Structure 1
Amino acid sequence: MTASKNASAAWPPLPYADWSETAAALHLWTQIVGKYRFSHTPWVNHSWHATLYVSPRGLTTGPVLDDGRPIVLTFDLREHRLVAETPDSTRDFPLESMSVAEFLQRTADLVESAGGRMDIHGAPNEIPDAIPFQQDQQPRPYDAEAVERFHRALLSISGVFEKFRTGFLGKVSPVHLFWGSFDLAVTRFSGRKAPLHPGGVPALPDDVTQEAYSHEVSSAGFWPGGGGVDEPMFYSYAYPTPDGFSERPVEPDAVRYETALGEFLLPYEAVRASATPEADLLAFLQSTYAAAADLSNWDRRSLECELGAPRVPRRIA
């Protein structure tokens, strides 16, 4: 396989319009699975206990202790199944066209057959005027090929996010998928408290939002489209937003600042089409972080380090 074909496989096309209905279904399905993890996991700062993780097979909860019994739920986006694993069993059901209500019932049956308990809040979060899961009876399409492309993109993106994560000595989040907004994110913290967030996120309690933004952050991520931005997009923002943030020069050239969102945006397609997609994405992460950190007077000398490399200890001199 040539280098260009390798790059195309790693950074596949993701035109949102071609799979928007499947993406919307997958978003709601991840909410159901994510809520299962959330309902059985002690609170971790900034709701990190609720997220999903990118894996070679798809998206996973990691081990969930359900009354002491470890259960892992995984969206296998290669074989297109939702899989429940325990220390002594593996069960699954196919991912295919179905309603949200049917997915909820199948997931509950799967969890219970694995010895767990499905006890979740029954409505979507961060979606305005959303239909409760049990009432959402509309059949949803499932485009398996589009889902596989989405997963391949997530694998490539998470690799760059993980590399970016290594260049920080301060508090930094895992690379994880927030199922409320359906975005893959990584967040750096200055270590200082932030002003109280005003809340107001649709279908999300204000105290959850305020806890998530309790401290100053520079956050970057990726979402596949939707919510008024109908193409896959990388984003970067700071909370609180420092004066002059939108005017700071950042990389690469395809970046724009979206005033309504208060975020820098970089189209996924611009990265995909680049001869150096990983380098372009890393430049976006580094330059937008630097804009936030400089304007907010972060102690960059104490917080930052060289990007990590395999088998090379971090220099401390």
Structure 2
Amino acid sequence: MDKNFLTYPDWQATADTLHLYLQVAGKVKLERSYPEPEWGHVRMPLTVQGIGTGIIPGPAANFEIYFNLRQHHVDVQNSNYIRTRLELSDGLSVADFYRQLMGALDFIGAPTTINTEPQEFYDPVPFDADTKHATYDKHAVELFLDNLHFAHRSLGQFFGPVRGKVFAPSYWFGTMDLSGTIFSGQPEPYPGSGVIAVNCFDERFCEFGFWPGDPSSTEPAFYVMPYPFLSNIGSYGTMLAPQKAEFLTRSSEFILTLKDAFSYDDPQRAVVDFCRTSFDILQRMDPWGDIEWITQPLTYD
């Protein structure tokens, strides 16, 4: 176990439990929010102590669900000062958390019915029946939050000067990643089917994110995913930085593991360089219109 981060197997039981807790809250936001392009309405903001839903429209008052991952509790509150709190601790199953959160929403006057099937998760037990996932290691959760904050700083530095339509780095409850996106403004309808993909892949874009791993890819990593997807980058691979970054043809993504990022003297600069060079390669291979304006340097002193 590394002192700076955990591989997915190091904390799988806790990672899965936390992932599913956050999915329950994310699905409440999905159910009640006004739809936005590219699923923008389900983004969950990172805060100094955790992850929240942000403001959700309620039947009588706006409300929010906030996970404090330092003090390990969940605050459920509305704009009329009605508030309740759920404690996060080892042994709290997903089923118990689901029932407690639904009760909390009833208490604040925002009862919400959600689809209880997990989203993009390898073990699809409905939330209300999931007594299997009940592990909560507070140290592991706090280390994950530390990694999210490192990712937010690094990605934020890269995104800062970008013009045009951007999703700032946010948490996505389906895949447990923190990512942001630069959009080209050029339509590119998805050639396949499925409500998630069709409403996500509808214009040219490039996503930049951090992901803690899963059963098939256990290393936490930064990634850059262009759409339309690249099948290879050919000789442009020499442009990719830092040296330990790579392009994976099987997933059509640029990858820099967190371990490799931390191996450099300036890890944040390594991540920024990774994002910048990956985007530069994309623009060499599949240039966007108005790219000069999107990347034009800012004039602040």
Task: Provide the TM-score with structure 2 as the length reference.
Answer: 0.92
Asked if structure 2 preserves the Cα contact closer than 8 Å seen for 1:221 and 1:235, the reply is: yes
Alpha-carbon distance in structure 2 between the residues aligned to 1:197 and 1:278: 36
Give the structure 1 partner of residue 76 of structure 2: 84
5+ residue gaps, structure 2, are none
Give 3-state SS (helix, strand or coil) of 2:168's partner: coil
2:292 counterpart of 1:301: yes
Displacement of 1:143: 0.6
Alpha-carbon distance in structure 1 between the residues aligned to 2:100 and 2:233: 46
5+ residue gaps, structure 1, are 1-7, 200-205
Indicate which of 261, 267, 280 corresponds to 2:257: 267
Indicate which of 82, 98, 101 corresponds to 1:104: 98
Displacement of 1:132: 1.1
Q: Give the counterpart letter for 1:33 in structure 2.
A: A
Q: Give the counterpart letter for 1:261 in structure 2.
A: S
Asked if structure 1 preserves the Cα contact closer than 8 Å seen for 2:224 and 2:278, the reply is: yes
Give the structure 2 partner of residue 202 of structure 1: none
Alpha-carbon distance in structure 1 between the residues aligned to 2:125 and 2:143: 28
Indicate which of 169, 172, 182 corresponds to 1:178: 172
Asked if structure 1 preserves the Cα contact closer than 8 Å seen for 2:16 and 2:133, the reply is: no
Asked if structure 2 preserves the Cα contact closer than 8 Å seen for 1:246 and 1:257, the reply is: no
Indicate which of 140, 146, 155 corresponds to 2:140: 146
Identity of aligned residues (%): 24
Give 3-state SS (helix, strand or coil) of 1:92's partner: strand
Alpha-carbon distance in structure 2 between the residues aligned to 1:131 and 1:260: 28
Give the structure 1 partner of residue 9 of structure 2: 17
Q: Give the counterpart letter for 1:222 in structure 2.
A: F
Asked if structure 2 preserves the Cα contact closer than 8 Å seen for 1:244 and 1:295, the reply is: no
Displacement of 1:254: 1.1
Displacement of 1:182: 1.0
Displacement of 1:275: 1.4
Give the structure 2 partner of residue 3 of structure 1: none
Q: Give the counterpart letter for 1:125 in structure 2.
A: Q
- The number of equivalent residue pairs is 295
Displacement of 1:237: 1.5
Q: Give the counterpart letter for 1:136 in structure 2.
A: D
Give 3-state SS (helix, strand or coil) of 2:167's partner: coil
Deviation track 1:171-200 (CA, whole Å, cap 9, x = no partner) reads 11121111111111111111111142424x
Indicate which of 183, 189, 214 corresponds to 2:202: 214
Map of 1:3-14 to 2, 5 A cutoff?
A: 12-14=4-6
Give the structure 1 partner of residue 272 of structure 2: 282
Asked if structure 2 preserves the Cα contact closer than 8 Å seen for 1:178 and 1:184, the reply is: yes
Give the structure 1 partner of residue 242 of structure 2: 252
Alpha-carbon distance in structure 1 between the residues aligned to 2:226 and 2:7: 28
Instruction: State the Cα RMSD in Å.
Output: 1.9
2:158 counterpart of 1:164: yes
Alpha-carbon distance in structure 1 between the residues aligned to 2:255 and 2:261: 12
Displacement of 1:18: 1.6
Deviation track 1:17-76 (CA, whole Å, cap 9, x = no partner) reads 221110011111111000011111010111110121110110001111111411111110
- Relative to 1, partners in 2 of residues 1:93 and 1:257: Cα closer, same or farther, differing over 3 Å? same
Asked if structure 2 preserves the Cα contact closer than 8 Å seen for 1:224 and 1:233, the reply is: yes
- Relative to 1, partners in 2 of residues 1:178 and 1:139: Cα closer, same or farther, differing over 3 Å? closer
Displacement of 1:13: 2.1
Give 3-state SS (helix, strand or coil) of 1:306's partner: coil
- Relative to 1, partners in 2 of residues 1:197 and 1:174: Cα closer, same or farther, differing over 3 Å? farther
Alpha-carbon distance in structure 2 between the residues aligned to 1:243 and 1:32: 35
Alpha-carbon distance in structure 2 between the residues aligned to 1:132 and 1:14: 27
- Relative to 1, partners in 2 of residues 1:197 and 1:145: Cα closer, same or farther, differing over 3 Å? farther
- Relative to 1, partners in 2 of residues 1:247 and 1:126: Cα closer, same or farther, differing over 3 Å? farther
